Structure 1
Amino acid sequence: MKKLINRQPGRVGQWALGLLPFVLLIIAYLIASDARLAANANDKLLPALNSFADAIQRMAFEPSKRSGDYLLWVDTLASLQRLAMGVGISALMALAVGIANGTIPYIRATLSPLVTGLSLVPPMAMLPVLFIIFGLGELAKVMLIIIGITPFLIRDLQQRALEIPREQIIKMQTLGANSWQIITRLVWPQLMPRLIGAVRLSLGPAWLFLIAAEAIAATEGLGYRIFLVRRYLAMDVILPYVVWITLLAFAIDFMLSRYSRWRYPWFHQQGH
């Protein structure tokens, strides 16, 4: 008989075990909601499921009486655009600086202390400064994401570059490769799948910074809508928006994972 530590669930078992916590959460919510509504039919803290359906219908499939927009889709598009810009710029900056820090000692000695210092600054503390410098427009929201996740990405890629076996670099130098060729043909290919992995890990903080910025200064966006309706205790809108944000984050993470496996199969075959 196999020990528990050596037993692996099958494909169906993995799906079932993965769905089990969500099913239990839904059941727990239904029980708690029924109990609160039985005590107070007007309770807004834990609405019934039909309230969620009505709110989704109103936000996603009926035009707003004030603007004529389908609010859920307008909010989603605005937030995804900000997220894509912030994460995309952060990834490009991290790739350039992380490779430079990890491969060129003079650059590492110059920039690494600065990156370390910036990574220790609480990004949320910089939000008022960003609004003062960049105003209340889109740039401040994107900059908060960049400031929040870029130092982490740079430090991660720098460390990954330093972990590349020295023997590989020596072999390329023996074959006559210069520094640029070593970076583009050895370091770059090995860091790209690691960059995707680091971006996946940074999506959670990126969403956090985005929603915080939208809650303070925005006219559309998922974070803006959540904090707008909270004054009415509209949990029938807030909870579906939270679930929708979670689904979007999961979809982005899944697509990045599949792309990494398709583009860099050798990396994942090594057990990463």
Structure 2
Amino acid sequence: MRRVMNMQPGRARWLLALLPFALIVMVYVVGSAQRRAENPSDKVLPPFGEMSSAIHRVAFEEDKRTGEYLFWSDTGASLERLAIGLSIATALALVLGLLIGLLPIGNAMFAPMTAVMSMIPPMAILPILFIVFGLGELSKVVLIIVGVAPCLMRDLVFTVGSLPREQLVKAQSLGASTWQVLIRVALPQALPRLIASLRLALGPAFLFLISAEAISADSGLGYRIFLLRRYLAMDTILPYVAWITLLAFLMDLALAQLSRRAFPWAHGAEPKA
């Protein structure tokens, strides 16, 4: 008897992947049509035609006040903040995670503090960041760093700390110094895990970014969404949300491809995700 757990989708994989999205679209279309039939002025579930017109207006028509294409200027501002925050957070996590995970002295001194910092809710300290760093760009970037770096660092500490002891002993037996063990043994095995952790951190990073932009910003995807909510402009808000989701998905896909190409040995026959 063939078990369901042993069935492989094969060529139907893409069809199965698209099916949930098609169901969501169908439910939305039906719900939008029903609400419009009851109330022609309904703004909660705008038809796709209205969303297309709205996104064309903000993406391909200059804003009369600023002369900018708002959709692209918002995207650029948000991606710049996100890129700076994630880059700094990743660099900190890589350096400190390797040192804390490999050096017993560093682990004893900084591992407890890393664990505590990873438990701090970033949104709870957002007002503190605005007070300390002001309402400009710095506070938004720092929020991403504070929200992402400790978790990346702690995960990397676990990864390095769980390396087989015999690898470290053999490397030292061959004359490797602490620096060489760090670079040639720990680093290559930590990088695939760091990329995987960064993929998981993309969602929270976007959350921190959108939240900071919603509170204090004059541009950005989060700023535009929370500005338009005052007017119930769902025809623009929903495409913005879909665009943020697409950006996060493309970044996740790029990181996955980078990991598979740079470290194929770390993936083996793992399922695609």
TM score, norm. by length of structure 2: 0.98
Moved more, 152-161 or 262-271: 262-271
Q: Does 1:253 align with 2:252?
A: yes
Quote the offset at 1:21 in angstroms. 0.6
Q: Note the alpha carbon deviations across 1:112-143, whole angstroms, 9 max, x for none.
A: 11111111111001111111111111100000
Deviations 1:233-254 (A, max 9, x none): 0000100000000000000010
Extract unaligned runs of 5+ from structure 2: none
Aligned to 1:17: 16
Q: Distance in 2 between matches of 1:2 and 1:65?
A: 64
Q: C-alpha separation between the residues in 2 aligned to 1:60 and 1:236?
A: 13
Change in 2 beyond 3 A, CA 1:270/1:177: farther
2: distance between equivalents of 1:162 and 1:177?
A: 18
What is aligned with 1:97?
96
CA deviations over 1:200-227 (Å, ceiling 9, x no partner): 0000000000000000000000000000
Query: In the aligned structure 2, how far is the partner of 1:198 from the partner of 1:70?
Result: 34
Which residue of the partner structure matches residue 2 of structure 2? 2
Corresponding letter in the other structure for 2:142 = M
1:55 is aligned with what amino acid? A
Match of 1:80 in 2: 79
Letter in 1 for 2:163: I
CA distance in 1, matches of 2:269, 2:18: 28
Task: Give, as a single letter, the amino acid of the residue that structure 2 aligns with 1:26.
Answer: V
Write out per-residue CA displacement over residues 163-208 of structure 1, whole angstroms, 9 at most, x where no aligned residue. 1111111111111111111001000011111111110000000000
Shift of 1:49: 1.1
Question: How far did residue 111 of structure 1 move?
Answer: 0.6
Q: How does 1:51-90 map to 2 (within 5 A)?
A: 51-90=50-89
State the distance in 1 between where 2:49 and 2:215 align: 31
CA distance in structure 2 between the aligned counterparts of 1:127 and 1:120, rounded to whole angstroms: 15
Q: Secondary structure at the match of 2:12?
A: helix
> Residue in 1 aligned with 2:37?
38
Alignment match, 1:169: 168
How has the CA–CA distance of structure 1 residues 34 and 270 changed in structure 2, closer, same or farther, with 3 Å as cutoff? closer
Any residues of structure 2 matched to 1:223-234 within 5 Å, and which? 223-234=222-233
- Aligned position for 2:243: 244
Tell me, yes or no, if structure 1 residue 119 matches structure 2 residue 118. Answer: yes
The amino acid of 2:88's aligned partner reads I
Per the alignment, in what secondary structure is the counterpart of residue 269 of structure 1?
Answer: coil
